[in-house]
Amino acid sequence: MPSSVAQLEALVKEAAIEAGFDLAGIAPARLGDSRELRFFSDWIAAGRAGEMAYLEARDDQRRLKRASLEHVAPWARSVIVCGLNYNTAHPRSTEYHDPERGWISRYAWGPADYHEVVMDRLRRVEARLREAVADPALETRCYVDTGPVVERVFAAYAGVGWIGKNTCLINQRLGSWLFLGVILTSLELAPDLPALDRCGSCTRCLDACPTQAFVAPHELDATRCISYLTIEKRGAIPEELGPDMGNHVFGCDICQDVCPWNRKAPASSAPEFQPHPERVHPALVWLACLSEEDFRAAFRGSPIRRAKRSGLRRNAVVAMGNSGQRGFVPLLRQLVHDSDPVVAEHAEWALRRLG
């Protein structure tokens, strides 16, 4: 076993880099009366999470799991936060205009599901830690997105980056195209210094949001956000938001694309994030006509599956309505009779919009 806590911290960070992460830091598991976690509870109470019930999971005493790590993992003393750059050298949504094609969020372009990619790396770091400590009483647990942890809050306390006004975690060197994963551990490691907030007086992300989803800096009303609408929202898109969705069919990158800290963000060479041909700018006609079989084959192992076939077809139809392309009219007239009522309803909307 390394002779000092400092050696153990160095070992953990080295193991993270060896496992393929770009960033690693350590945060205390107990954040006390953290402003960010209090804010999360208020955000949930205000109904800003929409239909994302997983964010509202509560323990048996009705406490929000994501705001009370000390209750769901009372043994945890430290949180190891790892960051993985998924940026690739391809255009930003703000630079790309093809009315026949839809926009898929950058994080979902790769051939694999990032949950597995990040989890696989976390397990390697965890294994190194366990091997080094060699104590059967050591407790560790890895999470990517789905656990009781607001990752970006711990990432900020671990010095991995700051939480920008667009609510994304931003690293000074790598920008915000980052997947985060955490390892909770019972080890008492010395935390890193929190990162400085470097947004300054900039408001580009707030100004660029097409649906005015920011209630205030750092405060997102998810129910207005295109990412939520295209991925999490089932059924009908609120009529007043449809026109602002543009050509987005899965997620939205605008508030990150305009961020100056992403201007020089380096590209990752990790094969898992290199764009899969069908997952970057897919043709709207192809998406709108996807059979269940095509959907399964085209998006096997991809986070895009979360939108489900019905949602993706609905989004493609909305994008057609926003395209200004009358060439879509014959297909939309057919889709008005689609067996999926959500697709049919949005095809009617799109026809009205195309005049």
In the complex with ligand SF4, the residue whose CB is nearer, 199 or 320, is: 199
d(CA 17, CA 38): 32
Three-state DSSP class for residue 127? helix
Q: How far is the CB of 252 from ligand SF4 (least distance, A)?
A: 3
CB neighbour list of residue 42: distance below 8 Å, 6 or more residues apart: none
In the complex with ligand SF4, the residue whose CB is nearer, 189 or 258, is: 258
Q: How far is the CB of 199 from ligand SF4 (least distance, A)?
A: 3
Q: How far is the CB of 134 from ligand SF4 (least distance, A)?
A: 43
Q: How far is the CB of 116 from ligand SF4 (least distance, A)?
A: 24
Q: How far is the CB of 253 from ligand SF4 (least distance, A)?
A: 7
CA 63-68-73 angle, 5° bins: 115
Nearest residue relative to ligand SF4 (C-beta): 164
Q: Are 220 and 211 in contact (CB under 8 A)?
A: no
Residue 225 DSSP label: -
Q: Name the site residues for ligand SF4 (rule: CB under 6 A).
A: 164-166, 199, 202-205, 209, 211, 213, 220, 225-227, 252, 254-255, 258-261
In the complex with ligand SF4, the residue whose CB is nearer, 172 or 269, is: 172
Residue 283 DSSP label: B
Question: Pairing between strand 214-216 and 162-163?
Answer: unpaired
In the complex with ligand SF4, the residue whose CB is nearer, 158 or 258, is: 258
CB neighbour list of residue 33: distance below 8 Å, 6 or more residues apart: none
d(CA 71, CA 149): 12
What is the Cα gyration radius of the chain? 21
Q: Which own/partner pairs from 329-332 qualify as long-range (CB within 8 Å, at least 24 positions apart)?
A: 329/354, 331/285, 331/288, 331/289
E-assigned strands of 94-153?
A: 103-104, 140-143
Please identify every residue annotated as catalytic: 145
d(CA 115, CA 127): 18
In the complex with ligand SF4, the residue whose CB is nearer, 166 or 268, is: 166
Q: How far is the CB of 269 from ligand SF4 (least distance, A)?
A: 25
Q: Are 186 and 75 in contact (CB under 8 A)?
A: yes
d(CA 309, CA 292): 7
Q: Are 194 and 159 in contact (CB under 8 A)?
A: yes
CA contacts within 13 A on the Cβ side of 280 = 17
In the complex with ligand SF4, the residue whose CB is nearer, 228 or 328, is: 228
Q: How far is the CB of 203 from ligand SF4 (least distance, A)?
A: 6
In the complex with ligand SF4, the residue whose CB is nearer, 252 or 290, is: 252
